[in-house]
Copies of this chain bind each other. A is one copy, B any other.
């Protein structure tokens, strides 16, 4: 046993950074792995063939020691990059100077509110570029454990901030654009970095009433699995051809995800055709251990590691593989070919990154510190914040009149710095707080921290009320932050924590303009603020990143116009008492009022897609070809050349948007929903099927965009998980206030366009 321990310690030594193997003069120079004309699988296979059994077993954890005798460097697989190159075992920021920081974008939940795919693509591209530059100087590995695309199913979830929201179509569109940015395209010659779609699948509970993510068994119907929990992962695998997947902590229907061959083989590799030889699955950190405990799925530690390896978990973030695969192998619990397959997949991934190729043939190797936190990247971080910030209420107080000179800036977010980054953050070049931004704008600012996010006491009130008293305008910046929503910490209430509502109410009685900034990733019930006429404006600001304060203040004073849309439903406070977080069903039931805007049967406080502007818009919606009725069999027959029928175009619709205001230039997001009673009951309230963001529409002028629908846009999912076209009446609705509608029929017999593999 001692030998294994010693090796494991080696494998875990921190701070191991990428160094490229020497394919010119090193021991591998004449091995096929160094032959750039061979395929990745040929190259990786040739490499693994050189490994002894012990060397194979040692390279199965996230901190891979490599094989020194072969000149194969150690490699750390764990890099984070959720919204910028982030602090993590494989990322090593310098104390100062070059590589001491990286661009820190807003959290995904805020970026998603921009509904701007091009923006997201650009963000992905930038994060990937900065990661590559870090790697070139031995400060990062080449793969990043991003994005988190579990849907924001329940408002209590502590990690909802990391996701692009609650809507599957939106998630799919977002993640496709992000991934092709991060990795540098769909199946490029060399990947810029490898991204990792996580957490596959059904993961969206941290710790709720003793249900801890490591041991929670999510009971999910095939219908919900196909319709809600996996479409975004399908997009990763099948359409964006991402380099890596991460299996999740939880079990689904009794099987821990990292031991779930239905997930890892049947759906992922077979149904979604994720078969490029350089694709691998990593476990979430110690999810392999969790198969043994606390899932108690495998009776021994050896069986747990064998179950994971056999199911298709290729590398273990943790120590269970290097520690227990040796004895599992001795017990005959897996075949050597399965271990080889796992290693070949990993190293083929590195091949695909150009890891074994000459620097001069991999253009990414030329990236340096000059490519990090460039003026363009800084501008992009600012833009991402501005585009996502969402105006929820405004009685005309905003944009603020230039006549005001003194501001009270109060609340737990008023002087936010790292708070603005949320979780999985790196070191930012700067962190411009609302306070800093207000001062830069020339205001005389009376700042007071006021009550903390979850502070139950009133001790801060007098000083904060005095600051308000001394000012012309009051801005309260509060809501929630990572002290109440975080990894390993779900919420139990979705009201404003602490005494914030009491305090805001007192501010509202002072007879001064009052603007409330509701910050944080999850929503809080704004009912009281929306109904209080003395709360003049309400803005949701998420976690706005390095330039968040500037973005918020620019919107407040009108230097920028808000056009973000809420990417989640804001439920009333009582929602948390109406459905257990552990109820995974989307559709309403006796103890479930339904989840997301598609299925919620109550009245949301603020609905999905809502967002105000500083001007007014009108819009028209027209089909490119006028057609009132489509025959289903004709539609399907016209698509037979497509590998995936759901991607086959159905029709395009032109949306013409006019800024009917007279003074403010503004962006506008075209949200196109589909409604109708077709397919199996119950019917969703509506479903987002397309969107675009139009930029800078000047007063009294118009812009047009084309929204493309596919057969997938029209399909619904049956009880087996199949995607089906159903006859019926379909109505397209533009925007949440129904600015325009368009109706058409589908006729003929229903037709399955995707058969869901049965477990």
A interface residues with partner B (beta carbon < 8 Å): 1-2, 5-6, 8-9, 11-12, 207-210, 212, 214, 285-286, 289-290, 292-293, 318-320, 323, 454, 456-459, 461-463, 465-466, 469, 488, 492-493, 499, 501-502, 510, 576-577
A492 touches B8 (CB 8 A): no
Q: Tell me the complex Cα distance, A510–B4, Å.
A: 14
Copies in the complex: 2
Chain B residue at smallest Cβ distance from A576: B210
Contact call B293/A502, Cβ cutoff below 8 A: yes
Query: Are B9 and A293 closer than 8 Å at their CB atoms?
Result: no
Given contacts A210-B577, A293-B502, whether A465 and B5 have CB atoms under 8 Å apart is: yes
List, sorted by A's number, 12 A–B pairs whose CB atoms are closer than 8 Å: A5-B465, A9-B462, A210-B576, A210-B577, A214-B456, A289-B499, A289-B502, A293-B501, A293-B502, A318-B459, A319-B458, A454-B488
B1, B209, B461, B469: the one contacting A2 at CB < 8 Å is B469
Contact: A499 with B293, CB < 8 Å? yes
Per the bound structure, the CA–CA distance linking A210 and B579 in Å amounts to 13
CA distance A293 to B506 in the complex (A): 13
Chain B CB count within 10 A is highest, among A208, A210, A323, for A210
| Most chain B beta-carbon neighbours within 10 Å: one of A286, A318, A576 | A286
User: In the assembly, what is the distance between CA of A205 and CA of B459, in Å?
Assistant: 23
CA of A294 to CA of B428, assembled, Å: 38
Interface residue from B8, B289, B488 paired with A462 (Cβ < 8 Å): B8
> In the complex the two chains form, is B493's CB within 8 Å of A458's CB?
no
Which one of A292, A320, A463 has the greatest number of beta carbons of chain B within 10 Å? A463
Distance in Å: Cβ of A157 to nearest Cβ of chain B:
15
Across the interface, name the chain B residue whose C-beta is closest to A14. B459
Q: How far is the CA of A286 from the CA of B462 in the complex (A)?
A: 14
Closest-CB distance, A320 to chain B (whole angstroms): 6
Pick from B293, B493, B501: contact of A210, CB under 8 Å: B493
Question: In the bound complex, do residue A9 and residue B502 qualify as a contact, i.e. CB atoms below 8 Å apart?
Answer: no
A493 lies within 8 A of B212 (CB): yes
Say whether A469 contacts B210, CB under 8 Å: no
B residues near A510, Cβ cutoff 8 Å: 1
- A576–B211 alpha-carbon span in the complex (Å): 12
Contact assessment for A285 and B461 in the assembled complex, using a CB-CB cutoff below 8 Å? no
| CA distance in complex: A173, B82 (Å) | 56
In the complex, A758 Cα to B144 Cα: how many Å? Answer: 66
Please name 17 further chain A to chain B contacts, defined as beta carbons within 8 Å, in addition to the given A209-B209, A319-B459, sorted by A numbering.
A1-B469, A5-B462, A5-B469, A6-B466, A8-B465, A9-B462, A210-B492, A286-B458, A286-B499, A289-B499, A293-B502, A318-B457, A318-B459, A319-B458, A323-B462, A454-B488, A456-B488
Chain B residue nearest in CB terms to A497: B212
Hey, which chain B residues are within 8 Å of A461, CB to CB? 8, 319, 323
Residue in A1, A12, A208, A459 whose Cβ sees the most chain B Cβ within 10 Å:
A459
Given the complex of chains A and B, what is the CA–CA distance between A492 and B207 in angstroms? 9
Residue of B nearest to A320 (CB): B458
Q: How far is the CA of A214 from the CA of B455 in the complex (A)?
A: 11
- Whether B286 and A457, one on each chain, are in contact in the complex, defined by CB atoms closer than 8 angstroms, is yes
**Contact partners of A209 in chain B: CB under 8 A:** 209, 492
Roughly how many angstroms separate A664 CA and B286 CA in the complex, as a whole number? 46
* Residue pair B289, A463 in contact (C-beta under 8 Å): no
A322 (CB) vs chain B CBs: closest residue: B462
B residues in contact with A5, CB < 8 Å? 462, 465-466, 469
Closest B residue to A494 by CB, please name it.
B210
Interface centre among A214, A285, A458, A499 (most CB of B within 10 A): A458
Closest chain B CB from A451 CB (angstroms): 10
Q: Determine which of B11, B286, B319, B499 lies in contact with A456 in the assembled complex, contact meaning CB atoms within 8 Å.
A: B286
